[in-house]
Amino acid sequence: MSQDWIAFAKQLRSIAQTGQTYTTNKYELERYQQLEALTNQMFAVLSDAPIEKVENFFIPDAGYATPKVDVRGAVFVDNRVLLVREIKDGRWTLPGGWADVNEGPSSCVLREILEESGRHASNPRLAMLKDRSLHPYTPVSPDHLYKLFYVCDFEGGEFVPNNETDAADFFAIDELPPLSEGRTLAEDIHQCRAFLEAGASGSYSD
User: Residue 76 forms beta bridges with which residues?
Assistant: 81
> Which stretches of the chain drop beneath a pLDDT of 70?
1-3, 47, 49, 51-65, 200-206
* pLDDT value of residue 1: 45
* pLDDT value of residue 45: 77
* pLDDT value of residue 63: 58
Q: What is the dihedral of CA 107, 169, 79, 70, to 10 degrees?
A: -40
How far is C-alpha 99 from the geometric centre of its chain's CA atoms? 9
End-to-end CA distance of the chain: 22
* pLDDT value of residue 204: 44
* pLDDT value of residue 2: 61
* pLDDT value of residue 196: 94
Rg (Cα) of the chain, in Å, rounded?
A: 19
Q: CA 69 to CA 104: how far, in whole Å?
A: 11
How far is C-alpha 164 from the geometric centre of its chain's CA atoms? 14
pTM above 0.85, yes or no: no
SS3 of 72, please? strand
